[in-house]
Amino acid sequence: MEEPDEKFKTGQKLKFFGDGYEQKLEIDGRTIHSIPLMSGDFLVEAELGVKSGVAGGNFFILAENQPAGLLAADAAVDAIESVPGAITPFPGGIVASGSKVGSNKYKFLGASTNEKMCVTLKEVEGCQIPEKVKGIYEIVIDGVDEATVKAAMKAGIKAAVTVNGVIQISAGNFGGNLGAYKLNLQELF
């Protein structure tokens, strides 16, 4: 395992939430704090390391309905989890609300809803949704390097397209305005 670029004493600070009931544990040579919660204990490492990587690989799953799209998104997330060094940073691995850089109406926002990919806004000018599509899910991938993110995107897409009802795979490139990397789907295959 590589050494982190920086360390944060996150768990060392969070332990105080335990109000004296927290416990300090040693697991696999790591210092862990156990903080009691109503639903059970929350375990957190005393120190968390951070390393630079590549963020924001993404793809959209366009499906004939929401259940097919969600099933495909779950399959994609499962496949991505098998790629070492890659994560899907959103809860459950699936983006709850696809977004775009900036806002059409509220200039102070850095990001807002991606109206051209919302199934309930098909009448919007520039809509990019095929007529038969009734469910869209976005998967975002982060990884230790560009090759890892590309491998994870490829694995996720291959898994998603095996689900009956998936009509198309697309991606948001946001005009190249989001991040230092531009990962083209066509180059993955």
Ordered strands of the 135-143 beta sheet: 86-87, 135-143, 54-63, 166-170
In the numeric block, which tokens belong to residue 39? 């639903």
Mark whether 69 and 10 lie in a shared domain: no
* Averaged pLDDT for residues 21-43: 95
H/E stretch holding 26: strand 23-27
Mark whether 121 and 43 lie in a shared domain: no
- What is the full DSSP assignment across 102-160? S-SS-TT-SEEE-GGG-GGGTTSTT----TT--EEEEEEEEESSHHHHHHHHHHHHHHH
Mark whether 38 and 61 lie in a shared domain: no
Q: How many domains does the chain have?
A: 2
The single-letter code of the amino acid at 123 is: E
In the numeric block, which tokens belong to residue 93? 């691995």
pLDDT at position 138 is 95
**181 has pLDDT over 80:** no
Name the H helices within 15-88.
66-81
Q: Which residues make Cβ contacts (< 8 Å) with residue 33, sequence separation at least 6?
A: 11, 12, 14, 15, 18, 22, 23, 24, 25, 43, 44, 45, 46
Q: Which residue has the tokens 């390391």?
A: 49
**Band of the pLDDT at 186, cuts 50, 70, 90?**
confident
Q: Which residue has the tokens 């120190």?
A: 47
Mark whether 43 and 100 lie in a shared domain: no
| Domain coverage including residue 143 | 54-175
The CATH code of the domain that includes 59 is 3.30.70.520
58-110 pLDDT, tens digit each? 999 999 999 999 999 999 999 999 999 999 999 999 997 888 888 999 999 98
Of the candidates 38, 40, 34, the residue with the CA atom closest to the CA atom of residue 20: 34
Mark whether 123 and 45 lie in a shared domain: no
* Averaged pLDDT for residues 141-150: 94
Residue 34 within a domain:
yes
pLDDT at position 176 is 58
Mark whether 15 and 75 lie in a shared domain: no
Q: Which residues make Cβ contacts (< 8 Å) with residue 145, sequence separation at least 6?
A: 53, 54, 85
Mark whether 60 and 44 lie in a shared domain: no
> Which 3 state secondary structure label does DSSP give 5?
coil
* Averaged pLDDT for residues 143-147: 93
The single-letter code of the amino acid at 41 is: D
> Which 3 state secondary structure label does DSSP give 93?
helix
H/E stretch holding 70: helix 66-81
